[in-house]
Amino acid sequence: MRFYEEVLGFVPIKRPSSFKFNFNGAWLYNYGIGIHLIENPLIDDFDTIIEPRPINPKDNHISFQCRDVEIVEGRLEDMGMKYVTAVVEDEGNTVDQVFFHDPDGYMIELCNCENIPILPLSACLFKPRMSSFSRAVFGPAKCGLVENAMMESLSMDMLDISF
């Protein structure tokens, strides 16, 4: 839990007592995101020491935004954690990335991705609509409302991780 608090800036919150949890865990929250950490009692201490896979930015990971990747790197160094950095350039915009594993081996990316404009993928394909005769009828999918809702949601809920 300390990792999520000190490196990612999450804050522990109360777990709902109405759920009557019969397992150990913690709930953390910040930046409009909740993280639920669950302890698996079937894994002994030896299993948790296993070295995670090599850090590969093209492997499965979850990404969070931050304003200053160098601060994150400093925190990781202070904790003795391994990490890999990368730089993405797109149409004159530069994004700095840092990749690392959390204590459970999950890969995390922190980046200053706000440097790249957020543009929805609005190229909706023609999708089949089934008629009452079970014959596929092709017509355009209407994406405008979905696209507007998505952009409004993104602008309201953009992660603003600042250290």
Catalytic annotation, residues: 109
Q: Is 76 helix (H, G, I), strand (E, B) or coil?
A: helix
Which residues of 43-154 form beta strands (DSSP E)? 62-65, 84-90, 93-101, 107-111, 126-130, 136-140
- What's the token pair of residue 58? 């093209």
- Considering only CA atoms, which of 92, 96, 129, 137 is closest in space to residue 113? 96
Give CA–CA dist 148/105, Å, rounded.
Answer: 37
